[in-house]
Amino acid sequence: MYIKHNLGMSDDYLPHFYHDWMKEPGRTVLLARREGKLVALQSWLIVDEGATAVFEGLRVCPTERGRGISWAVHRFAHSYIQQLHPTIKKARATTKLKNMKNLVLARRAVLCLVGQEESLDDLISHLKQKIRFLGVTSGLIPLNETQLKKVLLDPKLPSRVQLPGGSIIQNSQPLQLMEGNLEILKRWNLTWLADNEEEPAFLSLYAPSYPVPYNGRSMLLNIDMFGTDCILAQCALVGLLEAARSKEELKGTILFQVHMPWSLVETLQAFCDGHQGFTRSGEVLEQMFLEIKYAQI
């Protein structure tokens, strides 16, 4: 598995999360040096009760690209993981690159919108009006910790909401549904919404926003949706934007990325269109969910 990140991308999360990564339980940050100079970084998080390494954040200094450093770091990282964690079985990652098709477990769409904080309330009102026009009178409900545990450990959930690769993916981090991963999800401070707390047909979440270098400095809000009901998807988007608005002090330019099944793209694009304050940023991207068994490396 060989994942590189374009350092010119405007949604780069590494500057914000680097110092937290250095303290996060179960995470390793590998720094590579050549002739005493820092030239690359790779990180991974051990999840799935020790069975999986989730890879993130491969970076190579721009002046060092084209010299095989990424590949050398990649090979060393996988070898080192197996020394540190002899029971490890597989590596997983997500990427928007297009050269990993033989490893793909699942695909999701990523819709990105951008606007200013002063337009957010109007956007929410605009979307709520569209929902009322559809005759929908109630939205999704938040899940508390007890309810969430019951929902996530339900063996029927993956098929009911069509989880990609049978996993919950928070932005770029895939986790299988098992008790050992609940603590990881808890420390990410996620907000969860579902259509009911017993056997939901639709599940959605968002993580607290963080700064990215888009347009100098912007706040990025990541939303993840699981399920195929178009009406529930629209309700989830409104509910999560309202939750973010009430919980956070969002300022300046706001980007939000909606990760979802491809079957929802057309509906959510039309749902978000028509507002002057928030507009689509670029084309809909494809996120690929990758897995490789260590016996294959």
DSSP 7: T
Residue 11 has pLDDT above 70, yes or no: no
Question: Strands 37-47 and 218-226, how do they pair?
Answer: unpaired
Cα 104 from Cα 3, distance rounded (Å): 13
Number of H helices, E strands in the chain: 8, 15
| Whether 31 and 80 share a structural domain | yes
| Whether 59 and 162 share a structural domain | no
Alpha helices in 34-153 (DSSP H): 69-84, 120-133, 145-152
Query: What digits encode the pLDDT tens for the residues 23-55?
Result: 999 999 999 998 889 999 999 999 999 999 999
pLDDT band at 294 (very low <50, low <70, confident <90, very high): confident
- How much of the chain is helix, strand and coil, in % rounded to 5? 35, 35, 30
| Whether 80 and 138 share a structural domain | no
Higher pLDDT pick, 297 / 158: 158
Is 58 within a domain? yes
Strand, helix or coil for residue 81: helix
| Whether 254 and 158 share a structural domain | yes
Is 121 within a domain? yes
Helix H or strand E encompassing 110 = strand 104-116
The tokens of 217 are what? 């400095």
Query: What digits encode the pLDDT tens for the residues 227-278?
Result: 999 999 999 999 999 999 999 989 999 999 999 999 999 999 999 998 989 9
Query: Domain range spanning residue 72?
Result: 13-99
| Whether 64 and 137 share a structural domain | no
Nearest to 164 by CA among 287, 250, 16, 4: 287
Q: Which one of 35, 67, 99 terminates a domain? A: 99
Check residue 230 and give its pLDDT.
Answer: 95
Residue 9 has pLDDT above 60, yes or no: no
| Whether 89 and 131 share a structural domain | no
Nearest to 64 by CA among 100, 21, 35: 35
Residue 161 has pLDDT above 50, yes or no: yes
Is 1 within a domain? no
| Whether 271 and 135 share a structural domain | yes
Cα 60 from Cα 131, distance rounded (Å): 45
Is 202 within a domain? yes
Residue 4 has pLDDT above 50, yes or no: no
Is 8 within a domain? no
Q: Domain of 121: which CATH number? A: 3.40.630
- Rounded to 5 degrees, what are φ and ψ at 65? -75, 155
pLDDT band at 134 (very low <50, low <70, confident <90, very high): confident
| Whether 171 and 84 share a structural domain | no
Query: What digits encode the pLDDT tens for the residues 100-111?
Result: 555 899 999 999
Is 50 within a domain? yes
Q: Which one of 99, 134, 153 terminates a domain? A: 99
Query: How many domains does the chain divide into?
Result: 2
Residue 296 has pLDDT above 60, yes or no: no
Cα 176 from Cα 180, distance rounded (Å): 9
Cβ within 8 Å of residue 155, ≥6 positions away: 177
| Whether 93 and 122 share a structural domain | no
Is 52 within a domain? yes
- Percent of all residues in the chain with a pLDDT value above 70, rounded to a whole number: 93
Q: Which one of 64, 99, 134 terminates a domain? A: 99
Is 123 within a domain? yes
| Whether 262 and 151 share a structural domain | yes
| Whether 95 and 110 share a structural domain | no
| Whether 124 and 234 share a structural domain | yes
